[in-house]
Amino acid sequence: MKNNKLGSLFWILLVVCILNIVGHLAVYPALPDTVPIHWGASGEVNGWSSKQSNLIFCVLPLAMLVFMEVVRRIDPKHQNFERFGKVWNIFITLMVLLTAGMTWLTELTVFNMLPQSSNIISLLVCGGVGVMFIILGNFMPNIKQNYTFGCRTPWALNDEHNWQRTQRMGGITFVVMGITLIAVAFLAGLLGDTVTLILLLCAVCGGSAWIYLYSYLVYVGKMK
């Protein structure tokens, strides 16, 4: 039953990805030859490209969905996915919907449906990722051993007890990272591009490093 749910969601999201591509193709003729593809922390456009490049971006959700499904199926511990199917479904759904939404930022900007000079882009992108981190953090302790999803340190993959403790700490860390990303998203307009980027990198890299260190400390018996 759980395996059927995993398969059913894939086909549903596949339809969503195809509809996303169809939508982009429908508005493609109305786009100017040069379109915005990158925004600064303040929301101002600071990167441009040909409108043909937008067709590549709109395929990303589909490519990501297919790639993750293939990786899940060939995972040496793929049978464990049935034990945390709900968490995996939430992750894939959030990833596809968030990525699909981001592919429309170009059209929304071109058609003046977003404020030109505000941090709305930072709120949508960083804030969206932050919310996803918080949601995943709450479910992360339920993830079972696998080589595709979760906090996959060498010591966690080698020991189930280490895996369980690493996922619990990973869940807490992801929530903290998510809150940090949301806070940075709201302050991005005041902080500027450089400071915003530094804070984002510190939050994500620092959180990842801590999870890795924690797993190692559990391995050597320093945390009980």
- Per-residue model confidence as pLDDT tens digits over 165-193: 999 999 999 999 999 999 998 888 788 87
Within a domain: 107? no
Residue range(s) defining the domain that contains residue 198: 115-224
Domain assignment present for residue 106? The answer is no
What pLDDT is attached to residue 98?
A: 93
Q: How many domains does the chain have?
A: 2
80: tokens are 């464990």
- In which residue ranges of the chain is pLDDT below 50? 1
The alpha carbon dihedral of 126, 129, 134, 135 has a sign of: positive
3-state secondary structure of 220: coil
